[in-house]
Structure 1
């Protein structure tokens, strides 16, 4: 199995260079919201392990909200973010990126602080500005870009062949239909029009690391359980006290802001999402946020790694990253459908999950025990998210037009090719997928 990795490079933009940088990034698009996958600066489509990538300008547009807590706004320089999800090693991908896109990256980073005076290599500069995630989610760990493309080609080939086979042999004998389809697949594989690359073997060090990670956190919590049982009531009481003191911060997003977001949405069945804001003041809530996200990261790797996050099946990738010396939090996701349906899905199915992961952010609707309230106040929640949302200047996806459901279906079709279905009903189910 080839696991997925992520990267997030964040570099402050030189004062006075933002407009020029925005113009340069816009040249990577065919039109607003539609990237040129072979653009001359970063030809994303030439990287066969790259699932998604985006370039964003991260600005603290809601920094003033923290004044409601009696704190002065944190300083945050307007920054460029280069963000992506890949198959395999981050180090290997970044080294390849610095070779294949060196001139374009240098042109882009020339608008950022410290690049012109940097004495080391391009790779060293990028890795010096790498920001690790506090939590990550991958829809299906181990599903590679190559696998997605090959299984899509298989589904399309079988779909095209099926009608003529049914016309020849009829609909009744499903075993005969499958045998004809298998003959078709063997012929296409022999001709080189189809490829079904076997899953890469998982190296034993990776297996061992995963096992240690699987048992490590539960063992740590077990060892600490006497202490946790002792302090939990005090933690809960202190947290509830802080909740009651939270100021009410509300307000609808500026119409022009909403319009700038809407104009780059819904060009594909899949959309992307960026949110940036401050963590509520105080070490207590910062530590609580880090603990919660540590649990989210653990469950995403070991429980929710086969097509769903809690009850949500439409998310491809998601990440939470602390920035600005852990005073701010950035959230990114890639999801199927519209933003409205995305938010409705969460509000209706797992509002408590939204409260746990976002409820410690400045401006979030008031919660009760971090479980109730919050996202249950649907319109206030949606307005808060929209206020803190910002667009991607450039967004690339290696498999446009494919939803998470499509990828899962195509994987099942391949499974039906490589492993004989157990009975006629299973064959009928397999044919219906095609």
Structure 2
């Protein structure tokens, strides 16, 4: 199985150069925020391992919120972030970036502090890469190549199924499967429908994953007596902070909402980026660190097959600590409109949002972490909107395809390679082909 990796190259923008940088990034798009996949600076389509990527200029306009805790606020520097999710390891992908986009990346990063004409691009990117605290992948091991091959397969199957039914009528489901399998076999022999077999996971990584998968629950069991002893104090401390933590939920700026809206819904998938301060104090920092670690574990070993708890619309997401754990950056790629995305979480897993986001300054008040918070829908949406960032350039390797489309394509491929063992299952498989054909962009 091919693993997915991430990169987040982050650097302060030179003072007085933000608008120039914004103009350069806008030149990489075809619509507000939507990347031209063949733009001359970073030709995203040339990278066949790249799922999604974005450039965003991070301008935190909630930096004064920390003053509610009696802490003197200092503005954060404007930063440029280059974010992406790739198949395989990050290091080799950075090599590809240098090989295919050296000049363009140099033009972009020249607006950042510490990047000059003679800077070694590869070393600079490694030095400015920030590791995520938690990372979610919709289906681990599903590569860009697999997605594209399965999309082409299903489109061809849909056309062939329609042709067969028109020529021979709605034959027996078993016969239809045989005809379609024969058709694909002929296409593959002609080199028109390649289906690359998935890579096997190396034994060393399989052992390491197994150790981690077992080790974390085992470790929790071993320390559970201590946790039980500490639980009353932890709950008391949590509740005392919850009672005193201020809600900071001003009405989002209208101009910002208009600018954000102009970048949304150019594809069936949208990007989301937000940044905010962590509530001060070691308790909140430890809580955020612990729960993001557990979220990362769950995303890797529990929710790696199309679901993040009960939500199925996210392709990739990550949470990143910045500035010595004073801030958290959240980036995701989700299907549908933003309102539906937020509603999905509020209605299905508000408690999960509380666990992850309630340690942020200004978050809607919670009770024992799990109650209230995100379930106060209008307050939660204000909280997110105030911290949302514009995505200056966003790229997706398979436009027009939702996470559910990708899952259905894989199911169709599996049903082709191993025939479903009942008439009902065969009819269901055929209906998926028809659905895919009707919905193919």
Q: TM-score, normalised by structure 1?
A: 0.98
- The answer to whether the 8 A contact 1:169-1:176 is kept is no
Runs of 4+ in 1 over 2 A off after TM superposition: 167-170
Query: What residue in structure 2 maps to residue 318 of structure 1?
Result: 317
Report what 2:252 is aligned to: 253
Count of paired positions: 433
**8 A contact 1:29–1:36 mirrored in 2:** yes
Q: What is the CA–CA distance in structure 2 between the aligned matches of 1:222 and 1:377, rounded to whole Å? A: 34
Q: Which runs of 5+ in 1 are unaligned?
A: none
Q: TM-score, normalised by structure 2?
A: 0.97
Task: Give 1:44's aligned residue.
Answer: 44
Matches within 5 A, 1:6-405: 6-116=6-116, 121-405=120-404
Q: Distance in 2 between matches of 1:72 and 1:375?
A: 28
Kept in 1, the 8 Å contact 2:165–2:171? The answer is no
Q: 1:312, CA displacement in angstroms? A: 0.3
Shift of 1:172: 4.0
SS of the equivalent of 2:175 reads helix
SS in structure 2 opposite 1:392?
coil
Q: Is 1:407 aligned with 2:406?
A: yes
SS in 1 for 2:40: coil
Shift of 1:34: 2.4
Q: Offset at 1:167? A: 2.3
SS in 2 for 1:334: strand
Gaps of 5+ in 2: 434-441
Query: In the aligned structure 2, how far is the partner of 1:208 from the partner of 1:105?
Result: 38
Cα distance in 1 for partners of 2:369, 2:333 equals 25
Question: Could you tell me how far 1:324 is from its partner in structure 2?
Answer: 1.2
Cα pair 2:268 2:401 within 8 Å, conserved: yes
CA contact 1:252–1:384 (8 Å) conserved in 2: no
Matches of 1:244 and 1:414 in 2, distance apart? 53
**Post-superposition CA distance 1:39-98 (Å, at most 9, x none):** 100001000000000001112210011111111224421100000000010111011111
Q: For the residues of structure 2 that align with 1:312 and 1:320, how far apart are their CA atoms?
A: 17
Q: CA offsets per residue over residues 140-169 of structure 1, 9 Å max, x none?
A: 000000000000000000001111211233
Whether the 8 Å contact between 2:26 and 2:33 is mirrored in structure 1 is: no
Contact in 2 for aligned 1:56/1:82 (Cα 8 Å): yes
User: Which residue of structure 1 aligns with residue 439 of structure 2?
Assistant: none
Secondary structure class of the residue paired with 1:259: helix
Contact 1:335-1:342 at 8 Å conserved across structures:
yes
For each residue in 1:370-393, what CA deviation from the matched residue of structure 2 results, as whole angstroms up to 9, or x when unmatched?
Answer: 111111111011011101001111
Deviation at 1:222, TM superposition (A): 2.0
Q: Distance in 1 between matches of 2:117 and 2:217?
A: 46
TM-superposed CA distance for 1:117, in Å, is: 7.5
Q: Which whole-Å CA distance do the structure 2 matches of 1:244 and 1:117 have between them? A: 53
Q: Retained in 2: the 8 A contact 1:11–1:112?
A: yes
Alignment partners' CA distance in 1, 2:31 and 2:364: 36
Q: Which segment drifts farther, 28-37 or 249-258? A: 28-37
104-113 or 242-251, larger mean C-alpha shift: 242-251
Q: Which moved more, 1:235-244 or 1:175-184?
A: 175-184
- SS of the aligned residue for 2:333 comes to strand
Aligned equivalents of 1:143 and 1:73: distance in 2? 44
Structure 1 24/117 Cα, relative in aligned 2: closer, same or farther at 3 Å?
closer
Matches of 1:98 and 1:209, distance apart in 2: 31
Deviations 1:227-277 (A, max 9, x none): 211112111110100110111322110100100100010011100100101
Cα offset, 1:176, TM superposition: 1.1
Give the Cα separation in 1 of the matches to 2:158 and 2:356: 42
In structure 2, the CA distance between the partners of 1:321 and 1:118, relative to structure 1 (3 Å rule), is farther
